[in-house]
Structure 1
Amino acid sequence: MFQDFKLVDDRPVVIQVKEYIQRLIIKGALQGDQKLPSTREMSGLLKVSRNTVIAAYEGLEEGGFAYAVPGKGSYVSALAGYLAEDSAEAEDSAGWQFDWRARMNDYAVSAVELDIMKPGIRAPKETISFTSIAPDEHLFDLGDVRRAFLDRMAIEGQVLLNYGYAKGYKPLIDYLMRYMENKGVDISGKDMLITSGFTEGFDIVLSALRPASRRGAAICENPTHHTAIKNLHLQGYQITGIPMERDGIDVEELERVLQQKSRTFDLAYLTPSYHNPTGIVMSPAKRSAVMKLMTRYGIPVIEDGFNEELRYSGAHIAPLIATAGQGNGVIYIGSFSKVLFPGLRVGWVLADRELIGYLESIKRARSIHTSTIDQSILYQYLLNGNFDKYVRKARAEYKRKYELTKACCEAYLPQAELSGDGGLHLFLTFPTGVNTRQLLDACNAQGVIFTPGDRFFIHEGEGTNTLRLGFSRVADENIKRGIRIIGEQARSFLRT
């Protein structure tokens, strides 16, 4: 006994010794009321200091696994006998196995089928990857983040470590309300819910708007954000996709679909700025036309405020919720995740005050509240004036990479039509002879991967000649080399 004890470098030795002896007690290797080796003897057996063993024995006593007899030493608690019996019974019941696959409901099965991240794209570490549209962590100003954390903890650290409020951290809500007001939004009659990123906010809104007596019906751009497609399907919505044009959604087709009296839509999901995956910015004229149609047909709009801060040229375009004025038909879901610290899972829903009241209760029932520490760090970071400074730096770097990627695509992929007015990616449409799933396989063999575009389309078989190139985390030389390889492989597909 005691011959299998091995130390690891990244944990306190006292804790390792205590947990090792505790495991022996639980497994029944040490019996109830059995005397433990003296601290001197145990230190020799485990090759640790005697003081370490003394502290470990004290920890076992505090946990109820051992007791001390003055003048005689330490003994295993009588509790050990029950623990050993439980452990033996657990081993005897190993044959008690469920077929969990057979017990999964449609929601769970669909979640697996729609989970594109789980299978992923298998590629070696040195592969040039254009799959990510996350921000480049090398741009993060860690000193400012550290200062924000220390500032906030000094002010109210004990409060932040306790439970928070389902609606969110009030200082952050107040700040973000002003932030949205500066985007041109009329915030009268509106309120805000803080969520753990965009996805949770979207899921909460969908669950609140889903009809009780039938499947929901949603209308959105086609292609669109795959996470949105996944969550709409999981919530039971039937999706009608409207094609994209160079300046946004096809308004004529949208009106034609809405004029069909055979169906009523419960909501529209739209990404008007730096649309994922096409990168297109909806024109002001189309924004106005879309809002008039949604108002006429009484369809609430979920607006995805995706990448609004990463504008590289042109004037600011107000979000749809600003276009709506005092109207309450737009639900805006925002997040800084694509530009600033996605590890801080903070997003927000800005909508009619009454609706937020319902969403707050759903949020409380599901997850109680979003991490208050995350919210407070973000608030203090914003309050310290760091965001504007960071965005200027990030925008300059991403603009440079955007222009480099665009130039490389024009040089090496002249056969592909490009779209993307900003943000962290470009979208390519090839002639119909190019299947980008097959192109991906060929490029992967050459050490380059990207995201096939068909996964962003509503129906299977659509967009098989498209792909998305994320450039934010790719080095300049790899952008050039990777796009050149994609171009070489694409030309071979076109020749055949």
Structure 2
Amino acid sequence: MFQDFKLVEDRPVAIQVKEYINRLIIKGALQAGQKLPSTREMSLLLKVSRNTVIAAYEDLEDAGFTYAIPGKGSYVAAMADQSAEEHGSAGESAPWRIDWKTKVNEYAEAAVALDRIKHGIRAPKGTISFTSIAPDESLFDLGDVKRAFMDRMAIEGQVLLNYGYAKGYKPLIDYLMRYMENKGVDTRGKDMLITSGFTEGFDIVLSALRPAARSGAAICENPTHHTAINNMKLQGFEITGIPMERDGIDVQRLEAVLQTGCFDLAYLTPSYHNPTGIVMSPAKRSAVMNLLMRHQVPVIEDGFNEELRYSGAHVAPLIATVGQGNGVIYIGSFSKVLFPGLRVGWVLGDRTLIDALESIKRARTIHTSTIDQSILYQYLINGNFDKYVRKARAEYKRKYELTKACCEAYLPEARLSGDGGLHLFLTFPPSVNTQELLEACMERGVIFTPGDKFFIHPGEGTNTLRLGFSRVTDELIERGIRIIGEQARSFL
């Protein structure tokens, strides 16, 4: 006994000794009433200092796993032995087994089936990967983030470590309300809920708008964000996709679809659309909003990557076009431009709706991490955001132009779309199947995201792909796109 103890780095040794002895007690290797080796003897057995063992023994006694008899030493407490018997570790009963595949419901099964990440590409180290549209962590200004953390903790650290409010951290809500006003949004009659990123906010909104007596009916661009497709399907919505044109959604097709039935919501990404990268033109924004208002279809607007425009004038979000109207629900996040590790997003909408969403949020997760919210707030009020966005926009613009130039040089047969953001979308002639192209490229160490995952129905978009460039070096951008071009020619 005691021969299998192994130290690991970066953890206090006394805690490791305590946990090791604790495991032996729980497993039944040390029985109730059994005397432990003396602290001197145990230090020799485990090859640690005696003071370390003394500290470990004291912690074990505090936790109720051992007791001490003055002048005699430490002994295993009876309750630990009973716990071991209850767990069946003595081998007296067979382990309790359940076939969980027969227990999980259709929702869980559907989530597994739709989980592209779980069933996605497993590329070896050294692969040139165009699959990510996350920000480049080399641009993160860690010094400013550390200062924001220390500043906020110094002001109200003890409060931040306690429970927060379901609606969100009020200083951050106030800041973001002003931020949205600066985008042209009339916030009168509106309120805000802080969420753990876009996805939670979208899921909460869907659960509030899903009809109780029938399947929901949703309209969205086709293609669109695959996570949004998954969430709508999991929430029981039947999705009608509207094709995209060079300047946004096909308005004529949208009008025709709206005349065919009743829809519960429309999900739209008007700026730096994922995956096409298209920015909806001002004329189409006006036409789309007039149509949806006429048919009384609420809009969920995804404010995806609005800060990463590289050319042209700023285009106001859809929620800014309705004035005091309340038909648009805006979901925002800084995840793609700032720090995805801080899971902070927000839902801006009618005050009555936000009141209901707050209760759903409280029932599900109580609140979003208050520390995350407060760090983001302090980072923003310290004036770091504008400085960082300028730096990030300049770097991503350079990579965007490089990627675009490489695509035009090595993939002349593909039609490009993407007016900003962190990716380009490519549409090949019908003879190119991008799933098969991916397999060919993987053999040469290059991967990308086939575009069919962004379409509503199976079999659509099989000749498209998304090319994320944000985390790829200049050299690898050029080399990777050249390889894709060489492989694509064999399909033409």
Fold-level similarity (TM above 0.5): yes
Which residue of structure 2 aligns with residue 270 of structure 1?
A: 268
Q: Is residue 2:157 matched to residue 1:153?
A: no
State the one-letter code of the partner of 1:250.
D
- Partner Cα separation in structure 1 for residue 247 and residue 157 of structure 2: 48
Residue 104 of structure 1: how far off its partner (Å): 1.7
Which residue of structure 2 aligns with residue 429 of structure 1?
A: 427
- Partner Cα separation in structure 2 for residue 184 and residue 392 of structure 1: 21
- Partner Cα separation in structure 2 for residue 443 and residue 36 of structure 1: 61
Residue 165 of structure 1: how far off its partner (Å): 0.1
Which residue of structure 2 aligns with residue 61 of structure 1?
A: 61
Residue 410 of structure 1: how far off its partner (Å): 0.3
Residue 205 of structure 1: how far off its partner (Å): 0.2
- Partner Cα separation in structure 1 for residue 183 and residue 149 of structure 2: 27
* Equivalent residue runs for 1:387-426 within 5 Å: 387-426=385-424
Which residue of structure 2 aligns with residue 26 of structure 1?
A: 26
- Partner Cα separation in structure 2 for residue 35 and residue 48 of structure 1: 20
Deviates more, 1:478-487 or 1:48-57: 48-57
Which residue of structure 1 aligns with residue 132 of structure 2?
A: 132
Residue 10 of structure 1: how far off its partner (Å): 2.2
Query: Would the alpha carbon gap of residues 485 and 90 (structure 1) be closer, same or farther in structure 2, given more than 3 Å must change?
Result: farther
Secondary structure, counterpart of 2:176 in structure 1: helix
State the one-letter code of the partner of 2:382.
N
* Equivalent residue runs for 1:155-234 within 5 Å: 155-234=155-234
Query: Would the alpha carbon gap of residues 448 and 90 (structure 1) be closer, same or farther in structure 2, given more than 3 Å must change?
Result: farther
State the one-letter code of the partner of 1:11.
R
- Partner Cα separation in structure 2 for residue 90 and residue 406 of structure 1: 65
Which residue of structure 2 aligns with residue 121 of structure 1?
A: 121
- Partner Cα separation in structure 2 for residue 101 and residue 320 of structure 1: 44
* Equivalent residue runs for 1:314-329 within 5 Å: 314-329=312-327
Secondary structure, counterpart of 2:490 in structure 1: helix
Q: Is residue 2:396 matched to residue 1:370?
A: no
Residue 460 of structure 1: how far off its partner (Å): 0.5
Which residue of structure 1 aligns with residue 461 of structure 2?
A: 463
Query: Would the alpha carbon gap of residues 319 and 93 (structure 1) be closer, same or farther in structure 2, given more than 3 Å must change?
Result: farther
Q: What is the number of residues matched between the two proteins?
A: 492
Question: What CA deviation, in whole Å up to 9, does each residue of 1:275-302 have, x standing for no partner?
Answer: 0000000000000000000110000000
2:333 pairs with 335, 348, 354, which one?
A: 335
Secondary structure, counterpart of 1:310 in structure 2: coil
Question: What CA deviation, in whole Å up to 9, does each residue of 1:307-336 have, x standing for no partner?
Answer: 000000100100000011110000000000
- Partner Cα separation in structure 2 for residue 318 and residue 271 of structure 1: 12
Which residue of structure 1 aligns with residue 249 of structure 2?
A: 249
2:381 pairs with 357, 380, 383, which one?
A: 383
Q: For the Cα contact (< 8 Å) 2:28–2:90, is it kept in 1?
A: no
Deviates more, 1:16-25 or 1:227-236: 16-25
Deviates more, 1:267-276 or 1:89-98: 89-98
Secondary structure, counterpart of 1:387 in structure 2: helix
State the one-letter code of the partner of 1:118.
K
Which residue of structure 2 aligns with residue 87 of structure 1?
A: 87
Residue 214 of structure 1: how far off its partner (Å): 0.3
State the one-letter code of the partner of 2:479.
R
- Partner Cα separation in structure 1 for residue 90 and residue 482 of structure 2: 58
> Identity across aligned pairs (percent)?
83
Which residue of structure 1 aligns with residue 4 of structure 2?
A: 4
**Residue segments in structure 2 that go unaligned for 5+ positions in a row:** none
Question: What CA deviation, in whole Å up to 9, does each residue of 1:164-203 have, x standing for no partner?
Answer: 0000000000000000000000000000000000000000
- Partner Cα separation in structure 2 for residue 246 and residue 85 of structure 1: 68
Question: What CA deviation, in whole Å up to 9, does each residue of 1:248-287 have, x standing for no partner?
Answer: 0000110011112xx2100000000000000000000000
Q: For the Cα contact (< 8 Å) 1:417–1:430, is it kept in 2?
A: yes
State the one-letter code of the partner of 1:408.
C
- Partner Cα separation in structure 1 for residue 217 and residue 201 of structure 2: 19
Residue 87 of structure 1: how far off its partner (Å): 3.4
State the one-letter code of the partner of 1:71.
G
Residue 93 of structure 1: how far off its partner (Å): 4.7
Residue 98 of structure 1: how far off its partner (Å): 1.5
Q: For the Cα contact (< 8 Å) 2:28–2:89, is it kept in 1?
A: no
Q: For the Cα contact (< 8 Å) 2:161–2:370, is it kept in 1?
A: yes
Aligned CA RMSD, in angstroms, stands at 1.0
Residue 95 of structure 1: how far off its partner (Å): 4.7
Q: For the Cα contact (< 8 Å) 2:88–2:95, is it kept in 1?
A: no
Deviates more, 1:62-71 or 1:459-468: 62-71
Secondary structure, counterpart of 1:88 in structure 2: coil
- Partner Cα separation in structure 2 for residue 349 and residue 125 of structure 1: 38
Structure 2-normalised TM-score?
0.99
Which residue of structure 2 aligns with residue 447 of structure 1?
A: 445
Which residue of structure 2 aligns with residue 311 of structure 1?
A: 309
Deviates more, 1:87-96 or 1:121-130: 87-96
Q: For the Cα contact (< 8 Å) 1:30–1:80, is it kept in 2?
A: no
Secondary structure, counterpart of 2:192 in structure 1: strand
- Partner Cα separation in structure 1 for residue 486 and residue 35 of structure 2: 74
- Partner Cα separation in structure 2 for residue 483 and residue 27 of structure 1: 56
Q: For the Cα contact (< 8 Å) 1:133–1:338, is it kept in 2?
A: yes
Residue 91 of structure 1: how far off its partner (Å): 4.6
- Partner Cα separation in structure 1 for residue 14 and residue 89 of structure 2: 30
